[in-house]
Amino acid sequence: MYEERHHSEILEDVLQFIYPLIILFGLYIILTGISQPGGGFQGGAVLVAIFMCRYLVSPREMGRLDLIQKIDKLILVFILALASMLILLGFREVIPYFNGIYNMLIGILIGIKVASGLTVIFYTFAFIEGGKED
Amino acid sequence: MMPVVEKIMYIALIIFAFMSVQTPKLRRAVVYLAVFSAGSAFVYVLLGAPDAALAEAVIGSTIATIIFLSALQKYKAFTVYYTNEMRHEYRQSNLFRRRNAVLERIENFCSGKDLEAHIMYTTESLQEVMKNHGWDIIVRRKNNKFSIYGMEQNYHIEEMKKYIDENFNDLRKLGYEIELHIGWSENE
């Protein structure tokens, strides 16, 4: 009964069309965040919409939460490594246009980090906390 | 021009914040909160902080709203079937204009117990509803007689009985009969 109530073909078809637009918009916000309003945090928050849409389409399938969690932790390590590399190794003098590249890289990493972190929060909340409705 | 829009937005924000606190239905409160969030994002733009506005719009009015709504989904629904065998159809406009006093009180009972009342109007007979649908209570009306049916297994039915004994006396004085049946035989 639950499945019938929540499964909507209209929603599914429309969302399939919208997924790439969400990804494009999220990436746009992340990449143009250097010179415009936006940035990693906001773009990552837009990217979470993908997983939320998935939840709306199929509220019973959790997906691979452990994988997302691992990505989340791995990206955190990358961010810390990149930041400490900037301070310790002194790439700034060697590589031309270092600031632009660095900003873009850290923006993308923060975007993925925020997206996966918020996804973990949302999925934990939606599937694990408080039990399921029946 | 700009300060006027700003002032209007400030007033609207206060109104929406107040409404979201004051409204009795949680679902409505969530929607008001989302509108409040979108409004505050607009105010951030007017104040020259597009970065904060973007974050507010994405997180405040989208992600927080979805999380609240999925929390409300876990919130227990209390399904009430209302059947009136004298009628063959219900007009939508009538349903909105003249709320049934009995159903209204059941709704009050539910909101006091932190339940969300889902009221279904049906023209099916009592037996059909019992057999074919999932329900918590059924309200049957026959002229001036309201019969409320519930199962013993239902967690809230004892408190409902108490509530009905206490709060329906004024309707009884007006000539309505209201009774609660808990558990019954098949042929009833």
* B71/A45 Cβ within 8 A: no
- Number of domains making up chain A: 1
Q: Burial of B51 by CB count in 10 Å (0-12 exposed, 13-18 middle, 19+ buried)?
A: middle
Alpha-carbon distance B73 to nearest alpha carbon in chain A (angstroms): 7
Q: Report the run of H or E that residue B56 belongs to, with start and end.
A: none
Q: How far from chain centre, in Å, is Cα B144?
A: 25
In a domain, A10, yes or no: yes
Phi-psi region of B134 (alpha: psi -120 to 50; beta: other; left: phi over 0): beta
User: For the range A12-20, what are the long-range contacts, defined as Cβ-Cβ under 8 Å and sequence gap of 24 or more?
Assistant: A12/A57, A15/A53, A15/A56, A15/A57, A18/A53, A19/A50, A19/A53
Q: Which residues of A touch B51 (CB under 8 A)?
A: 37-39, 42
Closest CA to B139 of B180, B97, B78, B175: B180
Tokens of B165: 């004994």
Alpha-carbon distance A57 to nearest alpha carbon in chain B (angstroms): 13
What's the ipTM? 0.72
Pairwise CA distance, residues A82 & B71, whole Å: 38
Tokens of A83: 């930041």
Q: Which of A45, A132, A133 sits opposite B63 (nearest CB)?
A: A45
Closest CA to A71 of A44, A99, A102: A44
Range of the domain at A69: 2-128
In a domain, A134, yes or no: no
In a domain, A42, yes or no: yes
B70 touching A, CB under 8 A? yes
Q: What is the pLDDT of residues B88-115, one digit of tens each?
A: 677 666 666 566 777 878 888 777 776 7
Size of interface A-B (CB pairs under 8 A): 38
* B51/A37 Cβ within 8 A: yes
A115 touching B, CB under 8 A? no
Question: Considering only residues 44 to 103 of chain A, which have any Cβ-Cβ distance to chain B shorter than 8 Å?
Answer: 45-46, 48-49, 52, 55
Q: What is the pLDDT along chain A (134 residues), one digit of tens a residue?
A: 344 455 678 888 888 888 899 999 988 888 888 777 778 888 888 888 888 888 777 766 777 888 888 988 999 999 998 888 877 877 667 777 777 788 888 889 999 999 999 888 888 877 776 554 44
